[in-house]
A and B are shown apart, each in its own frame.
Chain A
Amino acid sequence: MDLSTTYMGLTLKNPVVPSASPLSHSLDNVRALEDAGAAAIVVHSLFEEQITHESGELDHYLSYGTESYAEATTYFPEPNAFNVGPYEYLDLIADMKKAVKIPIIGSLNGVSTGGWVNYAKNIQEAGADALELNVYYIPTNTNLKSEEIEKMYIETLKAVKANVSIPVAIKLSPFFTSMANMAHKLDAAGADALVMFNRFYQPDFDLDKLEVIPNLVLSTNWEMRLPLRWTAILYGQIKASLAVTSGVQNYQDVLKVMMAGGSVAMMCSELLMNGTLRITEVLDNLKKWMEEKEYSSIKMMQGSMSQKSVNEPAAFERANYMKTLQSYKTLA
């Protein structure tokens, strides 16, 4: 049985890829993911902002309070060199490449054009097989127009593509007015894959302390529906590979992603909750199901339930919404 799939030009042994998460923080975990059957690994994101912040912080606190008092003109020894910058991250990628055989996909979250480009090059040089641009951006400025935001995505992608030779995926927000057009533009700008979607961790309130608190909630299965829909819609309309992330929990989900037209189904929350061995179970069950249903390869099913392939394309459009509302009323 052939579980292989092609994701942004890379041939993967199966469609299950752990998405960017803390699981890639250690080499041991990365080895465990490969052993469990992962077809590739997206490394946790390198945050440009964090690097800038860390070096600013280091400079601030090493110089804070210095040259103020005769007895203590400084407070810290000054070493010859500091490893500020992405060194740790790049070393990890290089180590991963040595430790496992499966493709390693770096992930980058930049804030400046220079940052995106330089760090992308760094990640390529460190040996990554591909790069995922993690554009995590919340446009809070009321003067910022939507076309400017779209332009920022496109320009970033173009700048990176012009500077690296490895395939580049872009991880998107679902909040575009015209998702299909945006996908088309990114495709035209050279995206090798679209990863749908970035989850924006929504902060919570602590009612006792009256504070806004960061709140990481792992994804649930229903969250897969949105990327599933867009995968089904976009499949065949653009060249770029499609990846679904958010809510992929079991072999059925993987099947759905494939049938919608996805190249890979990315798993994260499920692995954080139930361990890396879930990949093995998912793959085993996937194979069992395919045997039962007599699918000989993943390719056979890819896109089979996409908008262009189903007999009721309107199911992905407004008509489906109307229907859903009506069915809700009936149930009530």
Chain B
Amino acid sequence: MEKQMITIDGTEAAAYVAYNASEIIAIYPITPSSGMGELSDAWAATGEKNIWGTVPKVVEMQSEGGAAGAVHGALQSGSLTTTFTASQGLLLMIPNMFKIAGELTPTVFHVSARSIAAQALSIFGDHSDVMSTRQTGWGLLASGSVQEIMDFAAIAHSATLQTRIPFIHFFDGFRSSHEVNKIYQLTKEEIKSLIDDDLVNAHRERALSPDHPVLRGTAQNPDVYFQGRETVNKFYDVCPGIVQDTMDKFAKLTGRQYNLFDYYGAPDAKRVVIIMGSGAEAAEETVQYLSERNEEKIGLLKVRLYRPWSNEHLLAALPKTVERIAVLDRTKEPGAGGEPLYLDVVTSVAEAMTSDNPPFAKFPKIIGGRYGLSSKEFTPSMIKSVYDNLKAEKPKNHFTVGIHDDVTNTSLEFDPNFIIEGDDVVRAMFYGLGADGTVGANKNSIKIIGEETDNYAQGYFVYDSKKSGSTTVSHLRFGKKPIKSTYLIQSAKFIGCHQFNLLEKFNVLENVAKGGTFLLNSPYSKDETWDHLPNKVQDDIIQKELNFYVIDAYTVAHETGMGGRINTIMQTCFFAISGVLPKDEAIEQIKKAIKKTYGMKGEEIVKQNFKAVDQTIENLFKIDVPEKSTSTIELPPIVSDKAPDYVKNVLGTIMAGKGDDVRVSQMPIDGTFPTATTQWEKRNIALEVPAWDVDVCIQCGKCAMVCPHGTIRIKAYDKKLTENAPAAFKHTNAIGKEYDGLAYTIQVAVEDCTGCELCVEVCPAKNKQETRLKAIYMVSQLPIREQERENWDYFLTIPEFDRKDVKMNTIKGSQLLQPLFEFSGACSGCGETPYVKLVSQLFGDRTVVANATGCSSIYGGNLPTTPWSVDQNGRGPAWSNSLFEDNAEFGFGMRLAIDKHLEYAKELLARLNGKINAELVNAILTAEQANEADIYEQRQRVDELKKQLANLKEDEAKNLLPLADYLVKKSVWIIGGDGWAYDIGYGGLDHVIASGKNVNILVLDTEVYSNTGGQCSKATGLAAVAKFAAGGKPTPKKDLAMMAMNYGSVYVAQIAMGSNDTQTLRALLEAEAYEGPSLIIAYSHCIAHGINMAKGMESQKGAVDSGYWPLFRYNPDNTKEGKNPLKLDSKPPKIKFRDYAYTETRYKMLTKSNPEEAKILMDKAQVEVLRKWKFYEQLANLEYSSNGKEK
């Protein structure tokens, strides 16, 4: 039978085998492994069967710890069980992994290996996570390519049953998991032939069953535990041999031979590099290149089976001639004698060389080094430098490669111009925006090339760190031989730039080869485009002798009904120019792909795309390139000159896409960064921005309140300040008694705005002459950019309104407070950030934030720039992210410390009685600090105290000085999403609210794991579709608020800004004022809901109006006055749940994919909404007073 070749990514390759070879799959989302769970869930939802003809049960758990527990239980009960994870998720599985291995239980975990959060989190790939499991007794099998992922997954599932040793099958996160490559697909029969049903039955026979009961999990004592631990040795002894046998059997089956250690290079090599994972692919390519050109003998040893480690196989695989060995680890163990693979090799060689039968004539010199942490590029040039280092008289040991370590000088030099990419591979790079579909089109192209030609093909996609206006770079390679280049393209024959303005942001022609092709999507005509190019781009085109093509893709898209989608058009251009396929065939294949992609979504969309394809060629033009550049357009500076040095020199380098050039000395030693840096990253991503109509505005403040990015600001100020304002600076008289005589301005930071339009949607003031316009309306950004930059700069010079005089409990008042959370990289129109920003306005100058991992930690703390900001006094929120699961405890710890600091400060103050002004001491100790004026006064007192302390010599004074600021009230905010609060962090959250401590917990409830791409959480509503709930969630949303209210001592509020902004404001103020734990659950519309984000606030209103999301505040303090603590702030349901739900794709799509089920679930959901409402209504009407009158 002819082998089938498919073009897929590593995630699908692993999931395909795991799904086929399992009965139970327990999952939990974590990047970059989530895709494996998503595919499994989707396959199960459509009834896809495994190799035994049954549909595996796929179950989402509340954490990786939970998934591991469920796996353990299922294994103990005889099921073939698997899971997928990475990074900290794998660490959470370790406790169970010891048990599973200790009980000799066969299973395979597929791990897309990822960095561990240390000085910072990183979602990218290295071996830090799997290396943390070395001690568990699991087999560790490393794949380095997409083909190996499919093959080793099958080998692992086979070997685990034969050896009874559980396996981690791992591959590099993103580099391998997200690389698309053309591979041979294993057939179900092939997988089945690798798995012995007798062993499956033996596994089942070991299951816990009351029909043949046994007991496992005993407690053993000093007398026997040790012996018990040694019983498994023989299983580990034979394991490598069994894995090799399985690899041999696999080779017979497929023709692909693998070994525990695979050697490449000269049989008589003197210098050998040992490595595992995707880096070995690039290393193989490099060794081949060098060997063909050098006479020197070098070799490469790829480690496949890392545990159980086989000395015997390692030594047998190394050439007898080896004199020098470099072992490369993709992990770091600070303080260790060396990284783990290095130490293993050293031990093996040392044991062998000191044995009776040493394998090598001379003890080889062995050095170790680190590379590729967090998917750091690992290129042929770096690999060459490792071989060069080995050649040196005194090779550097414990080196690093790929970075510039100017602190401890560990790094090897490498030549960036050493590029080995030859003419046998076509390489194309595409610069685009996330929103323009470039990546999707390229994934399509790779499939077409992979599956419709005899070419091998590879695709890899790089995204940036922002969720709005993000840029993408696609790297496509194809050629007649399998592609092993596991690094980004260094020399491209084709560059596509799908957005004209990216020419100003990136050096898009940096990697283009001489004589290559440049395709540009230009808003200008073929005759005008050249003159609009920046000078640098013109120069590059001329000097590199590029073939230059342009198309006005947006016009073609517009004319063919594609709206803003240019993906199909640019894809057609690529095929038309590149000649990968004959033009007609290419068009036919593109159309086939269109039908496949869009067919199920409707004929009309297919037709539109066809039309776009047909009209592309006639609008694609080759430009005659002049001999000289004529442009005077210079690239703008990345960062303003006014920025602090650190921002200019380090963060600016990252912003420019040159982060690889940042030296070790430029990075903070402990992960500490300055705040308030987003203000220096002017992204200019909005095509349209809001403008303010002074005459129509009623000064309600709603626009500023909902602005997710803090780009609409309001100030009321001395009219004199308008005298020197720029001519275009808008102002009017402030409305309202308390602002009498003041000027009023609403200013938009147009360079930071994302153009989401939420402000326009909520603006209640309509222009009476032209009702389509409101007091806030959208205008084109480009024509006003310069003018508004000047206005914004001027606006910043106007003093903030005095916090003491602000009426905080009104929207209008609250919006005069400076946001200390600004210009985040959240999605345009984000539903979370308006709440976060409001907290920063109300309490930011005295707040510490504990932030759970998730969207809010990413837009809150992802480099290069971060949005948490400072006021004119340099005060602002101090922010940190610990983990996903521990955020409540993390914030709780902050509270404990702050309280202890305060307590000790008071004690010291008391001890200094007599040395410090008694009146001052008394005032400080008795200050109520109930409002901003009180806090201001306390700050004044503390300033005075510090002055007095500075003059004292007593130890108490020295010790009090650094603690004195704690005498001013501090607010602890624990912020995170529903994945944290409802699922993985619920245990901790529950404990913290039960503690009675004064913390404020803000749950940004998007009802899915938004950051990892919309997986179901326990906050997901009944009937909603989410990943891991592809068939619609069959159970109701967990009522977290009710659970917290049960304590009777927790302030609880449920809020939705889009329904009632005043209630939102009140709830936040009350929660912060409450002297105990507070829990606020905030409805946060989200891109994962499938809605028009500009209408996000309307979604919130719909949720409340339908009764699905009742607004309420539960204040335990009310009971002291004989009042019911629960106050419902929203009215009984006035629309049906479906009338709200079906405005959102997450609900609506089920009516299209499974109408019958959708109806059943929707009916259930309606009943549940009414039941819950009724329950709350009754609770709110309960009698609490002693006289029976108060409610």
Contacts and interface: CB of A to CB of B under 8 A. Distances in A.
A61 interface: yes
A180 B1026 CA distance: 57
A81 B174 contact: no
A57 B1091 CA distance: 10
Interface in B593-608: 598, 600-605
Contacts of A177: none
Contacts of B41: 77
Interface in A81-132: 81-85, 88
A77 B42 contact: yes
A11 interface: no
Contact of B470 (A68, A78, A79, A83): A68
Given A59-B598, A85-B603, A88-B1155, A77 B1011 contact: no
Contacts, number: 143
Contacts of B858: 71
B467 interface: yes
Nearest to B470: A68
A80 interface: yes
Interface in B1137-1163: 1145-1146, 1148-1149, 1152-1155
B766 interface: yes
Contact of A70 (B38, B463, B602): B463
Nearest to A115: B604
B434 A71 contact: no
Contact of B605 (A59, A65, A210): A59
Contacts of A62: 601, 1090, 1145, 1149
A163 interface: no
Contacts of A55: 601-605
B771 interface: yes
Contacts of A54: 602, 1152
Contact of A56 (B178, B463, B600, B605): B605
A56 B602 contact: yes
Contacts of B1026: 76-77
A72 B1011 contact: yes
B961 interface: no
A80 to B, nearest CB: 5
A58 B123 contact: no
A76 B1027 contact: yes
B434 A67 contact: yes
A296 interface: no
B472 interface: yes
Nearest to A68: B434
Interface string A193-225: 000000000000000011100000000000000
Contacts of A74: 1013-1014
Given A59-B605, A70-B463, A82-B601, A64 B1087 contact: yes
Contacts of B598: 59
B1025 interface: yes
A146 interface: no
Contacts of A324: none
Given A61-B1091, A84-B1152, A66 B605 contact: no
Interface stretch (B295-303, B435-443, B502-510): B435-443
Contacts of B45: 77, 79
B1105 to A, nearest CB: 16
Q: Which bracket fits the contact residues of A? A: 35 or more
B1149 A58 contact: yes
Contacts of A29: none
Contacts of B31: 70-71
A52 B1090 contact: no
Contacts of B1025: 76-77
A77 B434 contact: no
Q: Could you tell me the dominant secondary structure of chain A's interface residues?
A: loop
Contacts of A67: 434, 437-440, 443, 461, 463, 472
Contacts of B771: 210-211
A65 B601 contact: no
Contacts of A211: 771
B1145 A69 contact: no
A76 B1090 CA distance: 8
A65 B439 contact: no
Interface in B31-84: 31-32, 38, 41-42, 45-46
B1030 interface: yes
Nearest to A55: B602
Interface in A29-63: 51-52, 54-59, 61-63
Contacts of A78: 42
B437 A72 contact: no
A137 interface: no
Q: Which of A51, A66, A67, A210 has the most CB of B within 10 A?
A: A67
Among A59, A69, A74, A211, chain B packs the most CB atoms within 10 A around the CB of A69
Nearest to B601: A59
B522 interface: no
A75 interface: yes
A237 interface: no
Nearest to A205: B771
Contacts of B1013: 71-75
B123 A70 contact: yes
B42 A79 contact: yes
Contact of A71 (B440, B461, B1012, B1155): B1012
A74 B443 CA distance: 13
A82 B1152 contact: yes
Contacts of B833: none
A212 to B, nearest CB: 9
Nearest to B1148: A58
Contacts of B1014: 72, 74-76
The listed residue with most A CB atoms (<10 A of its CB), out of B433, B1145, B1146, B1152, is B1152
Contacts of A80: 46, 600
Given A64-B1087, A76-B1025, A88-B1155, A81 B472 contact: no
A223 B601 CA distance: 41
Interface string B428-471: 00000111011110010000000000000000010100110010
A71 B1011 contact: yes
A220 to B, nearest CB: 28
B1010 interface: yes
B1153 A82 contact: yes
B1145 A58 contact: yes
A45 to B, nearest CB: 18
Given A61-B1091, A61-B1145, A64-B1087, A79 B46 contact: yes
B601 A71 contact: no
A70 B173 CA distance: 11
Contact of A69 (B38, B467, B768, B1146): B467
B37 to A, nearest CB: 11
B1088 interface: yes
Contacts of A57: 1145
Given A76-B1014, A78-B42, A79-B42, A69 B1027 contact: no
19 contacts: A57-B1145, A58-B601, A58-B1149, A61-B1145, A66-B434, A67-B472, A68-B434, A68-B467, A70-B32, A72-B1013, A72-B1088, A73-B439, A75-B1088, A77-B1025, A77-B1030, A81-B600, A82-B1149, A84-B602, A88-B1155
Interface of B: 31-32, 38, 41-42, 45-46, 123, 174, 178, 433-435, 437-440, 443, 461, 463, 466-467, 470, 472, 598, 600-605, 766, 768, 771, 827, 858, 1010-1014, 1025-1027, 1030, 1087-1088, 1090-1091, 1145-1146, 1148-1149, 1152-1155
Given A61-B1090, A70-B123, 15 more contacts: A62-B1090, A64-B1090, A67-B434, A67-B440, A71-B1011, A71-B1012, A71-B1013, A74-B1013, A75-B1014, A77-B41, A80-B46, A83-B1152, A83-B1155, A84-B602, A85-B602
Task: List the 10 closest A-B pairs by CB distance, nearest first.
Answer: A68-B434, A55-B602, A72-B1013, A61-B1090, A67-B439, A77-B1030, A61-B1145, A79-B1153, A75-B1014, A65-B1087
Interface of A: 51-52, 54-59, 61-85, 88, 209-211
